Chain A
Amino acid sequence: GQSLEQPSEVTAVEGAIVQINCTYQTSGFYGLSWYQQHDGGAPTFLSYNALDGLEETGRFSSFLSRSDSYGYLLLQELQMKDSASYFCAVRDPGTASKLTFGTGTRLQVTL
């Protein structure tokens, strides 16, 4: 089976940098994804790492270390609108591309 662990809550100040960690234990691995979900809304796709290293998309970056079964999402220049829950997810290598999601990290950005 698959299991993923994330911190439950993180608080940071507007303009700062925050890192959300994710460790996983999987029976198969085909990449680590990150999703953002605002209260009451649907998750939206942020990033995907299949190989080790850093992927950058604007203010957001995601990192993966397959040997450590570890990844993180880095958010820079935090804005109030970044207050949301963030989920890491492991993709199953099968044809169905199933995603198993972590428990989620609630990010609160303050002034």
Chain B
Amino acid sequence: SQTIHQWPATLVQPVGSPLSLECTVEGTSNPNLYWYRQAAGRGLQLLFYSVGIGQISSEVPQNLSASRPQDRQFILSSKKLLLSDSGFYLCAWSVRGLHGYTFGSGTRLTVV
């Protein structure tokens, strides 16, 4: 069966510190991968998506970057966090033939 792992679950980081969030998928090959951010009580904003290894597309200009070093691994990074980077970060995957996304359990990031 297909599963998605995302960690850590919660993170408190000081302003100016680096960030690395990791997401891995099991049980499927060549998935589309996505990073979303959700502010408190708000909708989901697409940050990055990837259709293959090394292929990253950014949806909004920001202080973050993404990488896909392996087929089933997606990493969200920042060199220097801002207060505005706080939020709930969600990784998701989809494949052709399936209509829904499967989301990871999310990382709640608080920048202080």
Contact = CB atoms under 8 A, between A and B. Distances in A.
B27 interface: no
A50 B96 CA distance: 15
Contact of A99 (B42, B46, B51): B46
B102 A45 contact: yes
A42 B103 contact: yes
Interface in B10-51: 32, 34, 36, 42-46, 49, 51
A35 B90 CA distance: 14
Given A96-B32, A97-B32, A103 B100 contact: no
A95 B30 CA distance: 12
B49 A101 contact: no
A23 interface: no
A97 B106 contact: no
Given A48-B99, A95-B51, A97-B32, A104 B105 contact: no
22 contacts: A33-B99, A42-B106, A43-B44, A43-B101, A45-B101, A45-B102, A48-B100, A50-B99, A91-B99, A95-B51, A96-B32, A96-B57, A97-B94, A98-B34, A99-B34, A99-B46, A100-B46, A101-B43, A101-B44, A101-B45, A102-B43, A103-B42
